[in-house]
């Protein structure tokens, strides 16, 4: 039999098992993986630099709100991913896998390069933030097309017996892209110094992506179209209306909904908790140095990356469904214990302070509002809000204790107390002055309670932190490794690109992409640094239940069926 992708194809379990073999198969997997790494590298640069970006583009807001807004801008890229999936999925089924894939590469590269050139808030004001959001949305549209293209392209070149193994190399690309982004950021920080990096050096990783774009496009131009797509076009079985065939057919639409809630929601929250939420949690909440945080997370990513291939291989043996759902169950059971252990390992002083000197705000509940100010318009001038907004900015976990009506709020750290003050009748200037003076007293009180302003690097239990990170990332590998095989096997060839892309990007774009911003908003609103974990826990539990009841096993499916 021929080893070329142009071989005659009679079925997924027939000639196709050899049609994508040998050198051609290796070239397809390598080229698709390299292109996907480039897209994810570009997309994740923003996430890895969210703390710096919050200072550069949202400096007009208070610290807590600026960070949440930076995460919302990060999430904007995810918000439009389902629309990218619909558009590029349509083109992929109508125009071809390869051509569509290349368009997404160009769009991503251009948007990322422009982020590196964008003026900051201090230079052009709020316009900087809006332009940043637009560029993030262009990146999101691009990624909305890339995953389906890469996954379908590889799946349609390989045999069903090892489809989980081969497509798992595509699943690795997101992790490799993130690890590469962290590595480039670390090297840039080291080369130019922290002060220069925070000033303008953060632009260099974005600008360097143009070189990767050139290499990736050169590789893509050397590839051939998918053999399944070519055969489908030649036999006249392709769809001339992919949207109608994918979404207007209840049987197919039902599978899309099952794929979303019975697989993708859990995959999204588990993966983004392991890759991004934990990154932000360590750096911002646990106050570990940014460079060290990047090294720790990147190291755990490198260690856990082979697990994606392992779990893809395992799904070829035991099925896609048991591997994916087991990951969701493990995540739901262990998230709270693991993050508590991570706090003790990464910032033992903070963990000790939380136990020995719990912080409480005693206040009239009617004076207390939610500590979330996305547009910077809230003044937080009541005595309760002044105390709680300070704690939210400081990243200190606290509980609110009801006090009699009319009581001036009081912040207590262990057995020490500091009365707040009423600012409703003060002018903006006087409120700012008095708030600053009160914050200095609060700093002293917090420090006396053992709460560190920054994690002591010498006290970090690095091996334990790495072990916990690898455990979290193992869940991500377990749920994500078999996912490309599952999604490509769920849907018929003529609408495969469109059908699999939508639930994938609804899951990772909306349920996963909004995870950091929603979780940290929950933390800001409740005052508990662990409360954001309820979001991924509920998502993972939902997928486990729906998956057990409705998700079909797809291992061994013929991809030529249409």
Least confident span in 16-20, 46-50, 70-74: 16-20
Dihedral, CA of residue 470, residue 472, residue 474 and residue 479, to nearest 10: -160
Domains of the chain, residue spans? 16-347+458-550, 352-448
Q: Is 252 exposed, middle or buried (0-12, 13-18, 19+ CB in 10 A)?
A: middle
Categorize the per-residue pLDDT at 204 as very low, low, confident or very high, splitting at 50, 70 and 90: very high
Q: Is 340 exposed, middle or buried (0-12, 13-18, 19+ CB in 10 A)?
A: middle
Q: Comparing 16-347+458-550 with 352-448, is the CATH topology the same?
A: no
Categorize the per-residue pLDDT at 11 as very low, low, confident or very high, splitting at 50, 70 and 90: very low
Closest to 163 measured CA to CA, from 260, 27, 20, 8: 20
Categorize the per-residue pLDDT at 275 as very low, low, confident or very high, splitting at 50, 70 and 90: confident
* For the chain, percent of residues with pLDDT exceeding 70: 85
Q: What is the mean pLDDT of residues 286-307?
A: 89
CATH number of 352-448: 3.40.30
Which range among 25-39, 337-351, 419-433 has the greatest average pLDDT?
337-351
For residue range 487-512, what is the model confidence (pLDDT) as tens digits?
A: 888 888 777 777 887 888 888 878 88
Q: What is the mean pLDDT of residues 287-312?
A: 90
Rounded to the nearest 10 degrees, what angle do helices 97-117 and 127-155 cross at?
Answer: 150
Least confident span in 70-79, 194-203, 332-341, 482-491: 70-79
The pLDDT of residue 467 = 97
The pLDDT of residue 13 = 42
The pLDDT of residue 316 = 93
Which range among 78-82, 290-294, 411-415 has the greatest average pLDDT?
411-415
End-to-end CA distance of the chain: 25
Residues 6+ apart with CB under 8 A from 512: 78, 267, 268, 269, 271, 272
User: How far is the C-alpha of 289 from the C-alpha of 75, rounded, in Å?
Assistant: 24
Instruction: Decide: helix, strand or coil at residue 411.
Output: strand
Which range among 367-371, 446-450, 465-469 has the greatest average pLDDT?
465-469
Buried b / exposed e over 27-38, threshold 16 CB at 10 Å, is bbbebbbbbbbb
Q: Which residue has the higher pLDDT, 178 or 281?
A: 281
Q: Say if residue 93's pLDDT is above 80.
A: no
User: How far is the C-alpha of 74 from the C-alpha of 50, rounded, in Å?
Assistant: 8
Categorize the per-residue pLDDT at 340 as very low, low, confident or very high, splitting at 50, 70 and 90: very high
Residue 284 CA: distances (Å) to CA of 75, 154, 200: 18, 38, 21
The pLDDT of residue 34 = 76
Q: Which residue has the higher pLDDT, 31 or 210?
A: 210
The pLDDT of residue 437 = 94
Please give the distance of CA 118 from its chain centroid, rounded to a whole number.
23
Predicted structure pTM score: 0.77
The pLDDT of residue 561 = 54
The pLDDT of residue 265 = 96
Which range among 276-285, 333-342, 373-382 has the greatest average pLDDT?
333-342
Closest to 550 measured CA to CA, from 490, 498, 504, 496: 490
Q: What is the mean pLDDT of residues 257-264?
A: 95
Residue 127 CA: distances (Å) to CA of 35, 65, 124, 163: 32, 18, 6, 47
Q: What is the mean pLDDT of residues 297-311?
A: 91
To the nearest whole number, what is the mean pLDDT of the chain?
A: 82
For residue range 427-454, what is the model confidence (pLDDT) as tens digits?
A: 888 988 999 999 999 999 999 988 988 8
Q: Which residue has the higher pLDDT, 517 or 229?
A: 517
Contact 511, 499 (CB under 8 A): no
Q: Say if residue 562's pLDDT is above 60.
A: no
Q: What is the mean pLDDT of residues 177-189?
A: 85
Report the CATH architecture of 16-347+458-550. Answer: Up-down Bundle (1.20)
The pLDDT of residue 17 = 39
Categorize the per-residue pLDDT at 476 as very low, low, confident or very high, splitting at 50, 70 and 90: very high
The DSSP secondary-structure symbol of 275 reads: I
Which range among 27-36, 45-54, 243-252, 269-278 has the greatest average pLDDT?
269-278
Which range among 332-336, 377-381, 490-494 has the greatest average pLDDT?
332-336
The pLDDT of residue 178 = 77
The pLDDT of residue 246 = 66
User: How far is the C-alpha of 332 from the C-alpha of 57, rounded, in Å?
Assistant: 35
Q: Say if residue 126's pLDDT is above 80.
A: no
The pLDDT of residue 243 = 66
Longest dimension (CA), the chain: 85
Q: What is the mean pLDDT of residues 13-18?
A: 40
For residue range 516-540, what is the model confidence (pLDDT) as tens digits?
A: 778 877 887 788 889 999 999 999 9
The pLDDT of residue 424 = 86
Q: Say if residue 161's pLDDT is above 50.
A: yes
């Amino acid at each position: 039999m021929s080893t070329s992708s142009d071989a005659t194809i009679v079925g997924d379990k027939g000639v196709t098992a050899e049609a994508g073999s040998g050198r051609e198969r290796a070239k397809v997997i390598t080229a698709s993986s390299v292109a996907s790494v480039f897209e994810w590298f570009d997309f994740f640069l923003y996430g890895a630099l969210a703390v710096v970006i919050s200072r550069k583009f949202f400096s007009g807001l208070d610290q807590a709100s600026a960070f949440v807004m930076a995460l919302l801008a990060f999430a904007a890229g995810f918000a439009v991913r389902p629309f990218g999936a619909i558009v590029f999925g349509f083109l992929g089924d109508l125009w071809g896998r390869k051509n569509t894939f290349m368009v997404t590469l160009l769009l991503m590269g251009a948007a990322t390069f422009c982020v590196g050139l964008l003026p900051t808030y201090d230079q052009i004001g709020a316009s900087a933030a809006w332009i940043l959001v637009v560029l993030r949305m262009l990146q999101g549209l691009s990624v909305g097309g890339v995953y389906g293209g890469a996954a379908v392209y590889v799946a349609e070149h390989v045999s069903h017996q090892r489809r989980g193994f081969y497509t798992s190399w595509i699943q690795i690309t997101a992790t490799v892209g993130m690890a590469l982004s962290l590595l480039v950021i670390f090297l840039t920080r080291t080369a130019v110094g922290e002060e220069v990096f925070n000033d303008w050096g953060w632009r260099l990783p974005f600008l360097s992506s143009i070189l990767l774009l050139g290499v990736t496009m050169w590789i893509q131009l050397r590839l051939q179209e998918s053999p399944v797509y070519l055969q489908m076009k030649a036999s006249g079985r392709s769809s001339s209306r992919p949207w109608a065939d994918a979404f207007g057919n209840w049987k197919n639409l039902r599978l899309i909904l099952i794929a979303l809630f019975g697989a993708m929601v859990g995959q999204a929250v588990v993966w983004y908790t392991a890759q991004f939420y934990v990154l932000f949690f360590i750096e911002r909440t646990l106050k570990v140095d940014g460079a060290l945080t990047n090294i720790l997370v990147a190291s755990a990513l490198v260690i856990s990356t082979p697990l994606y291939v392992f779990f893809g291989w395992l799904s070829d043996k035991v099925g896609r469904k048991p591997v994916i759902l087991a990951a969701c169950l493990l995540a739901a059971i262990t998230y709270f214990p693991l993050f508590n252990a991570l706090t003790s390992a990464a910032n033992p002083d903070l963990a000790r302070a939380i136990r020995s000197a719990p912080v409480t705000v005693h206040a009239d509940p009617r004076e207390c509002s939610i500590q979330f100010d996305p547009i910077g318009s809230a003044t937080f001038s009541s005595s309760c809000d002044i105390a709680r907004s300070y704690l939210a900015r400081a990243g200190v976990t606290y509980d609110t204790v009801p006090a009699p009506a009319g009581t001036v709020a009081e912040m207590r750290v262990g057995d020490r107390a500091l009365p707040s003050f009423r600012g409703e009748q003060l002018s903006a200037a006087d409120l700012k002055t008095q708030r600053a003076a009160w914050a200095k007293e609060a700093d002293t009180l917090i420090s006396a309670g053992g709460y560190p302003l920054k994690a002591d690097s010498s006290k970090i239990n690095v091996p334990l932190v790495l072990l916990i990170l690898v455990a979290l990332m193992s869940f991500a590998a377990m749920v994500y490794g078999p996912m490309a095989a599952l999604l490509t096997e769920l849907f018929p060839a003529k609408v495969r690109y469109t059908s699999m892309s939508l639930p994938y990007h609804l899951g990772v774009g909306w349920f996963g992409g909004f995870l950091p911003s929603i979780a940290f908003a929950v933390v800001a609103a409740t005052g508990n640094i662990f409360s954001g974990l309820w979001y991924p826990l509920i998502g993972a539990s939902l997928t486990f239940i729906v998956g057990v009841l409705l998700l079909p096993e797809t291992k061994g499916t013929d991809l030529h069926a249409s």
